[in-house]
Amino acid sequence: MATDMQKLIGTSEEDDEEEMDTDVKEEDDEDEENREKRISKQVMVGVDAGVPTFSGNNSQFQHHELQEQVSTPGGGGVRRCRPVEEKERTKLRERHRRAITARILAGLRRHGNYNLRVRADINDVIAALAREAGWVVLPDGTTFPSRSQGSRPAAGTSAMVTSSSSLMVPQQTPPASLRGVSPGYCSSVEYNTCQMKGVFIPTPSPYDISPSAPSQTSALVGDGVKQTESHLLIVGPMDTVNDKQIADMPPKLPERDFAGTPYVPVYVMLPLGVINMKCELVDPDGILKQLRVLKSINIDGVMVDCWWGIVEANAPQDYNWSGYRKLFQMVCELKLKLQVVMSFHECGGNVGDDVCIPLPHWVAEIGRSNPDIFFTDREGRRNPECLSWGIDKERVLRGRTAVEVYFDYMRSFRVEFDDLFRDGIILMVEVGLGPCGELRYPSCPVKHGWRYPGIGEFQCYDQYFLKGLRKAAEVRGHSFWAKGPDNAGSYNSQPHETGFFCDGGDYTGYYGRFFLNWYSQVLIDHVDRVLSLAKLAFEGTCIAAKLSGIHWWYKTANHAAELTAGFNNPCNRDGYAAIASTLKKHGAVLNFASSELHMSDRHEDFPEALADPVGLAWQVLNAAWDVCVPVASESALPCHDRIGYNKILDTVKPLSDPDGRHFFSFTYLRLDPSLMERQNFMEFERFVKRMHGEAVLDLQV
């Protein structure tokens, strides 16, 4: 980045010193009469503004001369003569001062990522520090507090943007990157005390802003210098004032310094449709350019979905990896790392899905004759998004069980890309365990009419699930329990509207506890079976499982939405400890896709949902960390603003954790045109540096 910054500025430290020396010589050659006229003019400008100000590269010397002129009694503005030796000493002092200034500016450009003009002087640095403190600095040097701190100067002071050393103008409209952002991060006093004992709770975030509070914003005026080649794809709306470019910048907020904190790798998830249904790489030139841009800001690698419905689309054990081979070769040449996802689910129909990738054709054919291979709700509606866990050990897939199909697919991938595993290019393999690749039941399918914050429905009514339920009931000695709840409501019900989830409802009774224990145990058994085979297929490589954050109704005693999703986590039970223990058994990483959900405004729009994404997140993290399971994170929603990034950083690197724990890695969702917009990409680059523990000197100039 130092090389890029030198190209952007177009000068070096030595060049600055030469320019400064030349400037001093030129100014020393000015005749005294012209200098007196220029000082008088500046005095008048300062008096008109109400504050004496000075600009230009010789401000200190001018100020010294002005003091001599106005402080001489009876001087009448007549400048007293100085000895030749004093003039020479003044020249030497000025030359020395400007040489020091040149080195400071060169260091700031090279190491501090400051956007200072080529012939900047110490006034530019002082103005930048003033703006850092929240003040407004006008082009003529007049400085005053922003509206959030004080009033503006008297009318008549110029606020026009010129080509002087001041680069900022005040703005009163919030930048686009912050519009509609909810502060979100609220500490709840409604935690269940039984869950909070001995649990690490983060300190409140310093980045919260009241939606009604006035925000201080500013604009960035550039010099129109040429951008480096690696950033040619970064585009965005820019305004022009007096031939200067202006880009919206977020407000300056109190920020935690992450310099020296642990290095957390940052990956970017590639688009869902980067490989088409013929297993061909879509737009290789465009992807290569985008990867080069990402490489220029030192991201660690990318995450790629390897879709079962593409690779094994036509016939059992007929695998086609050609498109992925070309993509991975491209990633390898750029010296990036890979996280790959064994995606055994359908793509399409969920939030954020912009392509449609169904399950393999031969699986769909089996499903038409035997629809019980799919998850089924109480009304008999099938969900072809993924295979039911009821057939994990049933030979209904052309002589193979579902678990055997998964293993054969993973083994084929391991053999095909053995060279990338040996070279350490593929660092982690995430194994899909359910809908959206997440470990959960498909209890909230949009295609069946579910809408937030509905509690969802139990998905245990295919013949294979019911057979397992009957067996469990017989073992318990109560065969009449071999049925699902008949009073658990529908997808969009609320807990208090049902007999099963209401206060004192059936979920707390003998049958309710039996059913929920069985229902959640099927989920854990599925994790155990699939990860044991994944560990065998990818021996020596890190494996991971993705866990979603079902945070609505978390503040209730029943936690109804979590129960239907398979997490037996009512107020008197920790439903995530068993999952964490299973991951620990297989040496797997927990990828929790909820690190920034507390920024979502859903719980603000639906206060009746009693959501608590922060409380859920820290319960899951404590469950994992208590058994020493590494935690990775994947953003569930796109993020482009600094407030959002700061909250992610606070979660990934918690300040008040007594053991100094932090996340294993972070994956950004996802590479798209909006990320490549100029302002968004600048914020993302800053976020990556802070995740890496680098110092970020962010004076907004």
Residue 199 has pLDDT above 70, yes or no: no
Chain-centre distance of CA 495, in angstroms?
A: 33
Give the per-residue pLDDT at 88. Answer: 81
- pLDDT, one tens digit per residue, over 618-640 is 999 999 999 999 999 998 788 89
From residue 520, alpha-carbon distances to 30, 333, 383, 434, 471 in Å are: 86, 44, 19, 14, 16
Residues labelled catalytic:
438, 634
The SS3 call for residue 459 is coil
Per-residue pLDDT, averaged over 70-91, amounts to 61
Give the per-residue pLDDT at 81. Answer: 56
Dihedral angle over CA of 2, 6, 8, 9, nearest 10: 130
Per-residue pLDDT, averaged over 264-291, amounts to 96
Per-residue pLDDT, averaged over 418-422, amounts to 97
CA atoms within 13 A on the CB side of 636: 23
From residue 229, alpha-carbon distances to 4, 192, 296, 569 in Å are: 9, 54, 10, 52
Are the beta carbons of 116 and 109 closer than 8 angstroms? yes
The one-letter amino acid at 650: D
Give the per-residue pLDDT at 144. Answer: 73
- Token pair recorded at residue 432: 């899909």
What radius of gyration, in Å, describes the C-alpha atoms of the chain?
32
Per the confidence metrics, is the pTM higher than 0.85? no
What mean pLDDT value characterizes the chain?
A: 78
- Token pair recorded at residue 274: 């980067």
Q: For 380-383, which contacts have Cβ atoms below 8 Å and span 24 or more sequence positions?
A: 380/461, 381/448, 382/462, 383/435, 383/442, 383/445, 383/447, 383/448, 383/459
- pLDDT, one tens digit per residue, over 88-132 is 888 888 888 877 877 777 777 666 655 566 667 778 778 777 776
Give the per-residue pLDDT at 298. Answer: 96
From residue 330, alpha-carbon distances to 277, 321, 336, 360, 544 in Å are: 20, 14, 9, 27, 24
Beta strands 374-376 and 239-241 are unpaired
- pLDDT, one tens digit per residue, over 671-696 is 999 999 999 999 999 999 999 999 99
Q: What share of the chain is helix, strand, coil (3-state, %, to 5)?
A: 40, 10, 45
Give the per-residue pLDDT at 112. Answer: 61
